[in-house]
Chains A and B, each alone.
Chain A
Amino acid sequence: MSKRQHISAVVNGDPVEFLSAPGTTLLDALRDELGLTGSKEGCGSGDCGACSVILDGRLVCSCLVLAVEAEGRRVETIEGLADGGTLHPLQQKFLEHAALQCGFCTPGILVAAKALLDANPDPTESEARYWLAGNLCRCTGYDKIIRAVMDAAAELRQVRV
């Protein structure tokens, strides 16, 4: 049995410390050690995007990151998207457009969409669809998801003006 290692990281702006076996994924550490169960395991092989988090500013699949790699790094998860009790505009637009059915893919898509709008506040629909190509929704609700992302982008641009 490999020895568990002590990890210090910053998750959603808060310093955290936890113990992790070397082979544990960041996804499992977030869920099982830190109780942040918003990130989901769909495929476990980087294909579905349900475990998407932002690691030092980069959108990644947390199932393909070892928890020990997070030492000293910043992690943003779905739990950090809302501002206290106020939903992020992406979350609000997903509700308004009914851009979810079972909801399993939703946290990953919201995190991926936030990374998109951080990098490109005015994406074309085509750019949004390509950016989100790594987030699979098996209820096949893509049309409403894209409408919600485009609407949230428009609202965020209004706020910035």
Chain B
Amino acid sequence: MSQVDFIAPDSAEKASRALLAAGARPLSGGTDLLVQLRAGRLPPGMIVDLKRIPGAVGIRQEVGGFVIGAATPGMTLSEHRALGLAWPGVVEAANLIGSTQIQGRASMAGNLCNASPAADSVPALVAARATCLIVGTSGRRMTPVESIAVGPGRTSLAPGEFVLEIHLPARPARSGDAYLRFIPRTEMDIAVVGVAVNLTLDDTGVVLDAHVALGAVAPTVLLVPDAAAALIGSKLDDAALDRLDAAARAACHPISDKRGTIEFRTKIAGVLARRAAVIAHGRAEKRS
């Protein structure tokens, strides 16, 4: 492994100062970071463990929404009943990542800041309109999750900045979300395409508000307003789903690689958007 130093600060401010050092990087679950370090893909530097910072691990409910600490593992998300009822799509997306062992460590903030275009939890967070609390040496700021990744493996975070919390907003009644991904097997793989849909319905089942996000079809996860507009005002009839399918496909600008071609990824984005919308709609109808 690369030569590294390690500290586990007990405050966010100390962590931020430590992260100013050249090559310093934050550690939450380590399921990406340690693999990269062991493969020698990262230069030597300081590892700053976030898990001793108050609030970095755990989930709290606040003004109707949820605040999820940056280093909260996937298993903790799956055990939180209220979170799973309010945001089933976010939880299922996070829980698709890796094995049981990976779920014991891997966090959504790590998934976000690793900045893979195929990160499973990120489309679900984007569709959920999640925000994150960023701590830096000059203070704290809130920003939408989609502003973090700027390209594969690259983030907008300044030196000394890190994500401390992810915030999921308060949920209106009759809301539901869903995440689907395509992989060529049933488990333990990287998304070829991922789609998240988040809907709010009125009393008659008409879509009042919608958000659609796509993963693995562009250098970063995409929020697709045209796909959302295709659903708003509809009851998810075939015409609306056709419009959603077309809008999702139109937003794609993927690469061809060993996991899927441009044509395949584009086609599947439309198919998964339709299916995720139907699941989200069904969940919203059940949640009065």
Contact = CB atoms under 8 A, between A and B. Distances in A.
Interface of A: 1-2, 5, 22-25, 44-47, 49, 52, 55, 58-61, 63-66, 68-69, 71, 112, 115-116, 130-135
A46 B3 contact: no
A49 B34 contact: no
Contact of B104 (A60, A116, A133): A60
A23 B104 contact: no
A115 B3 contact: no
B245 interface: no
B1 interface: yes
A46 B98 contact: yes
A61 B6 contact: no
Contacts of A132: 100
A61 B101 contact: yes
Interface residues of B, number: 29
A59 B100 contact: yes
Contact of B102 (A22, A23, A61, A68): A61
Given A58-B75, A133-B99, A66 B34 contact: yes
Interface of B: 1-6, 8, 27, 30-31, 34-35, 37-39, 47, 49, 51, 73, 75, 98-102, 104-105, 187-188
B101 A60 contact: yes
Contacts of A64: 30-31, 34-35, 101-102, 105
B1 A46 contact: no
Nearest to B76: A58
23 contacts: A1-B3, A2-B4, A22-B6, A23-B3, A46-B34, A46-B99, A46-B101, A52-B101, A58-B73, A58-B75, A58-B104, A64-B31, A64-B34, A64-B101, A64-B105, A65-B34, A65-B105, A69-B49, A112-B100, A112-B101, A133-B99, A133-B100, A133-B187
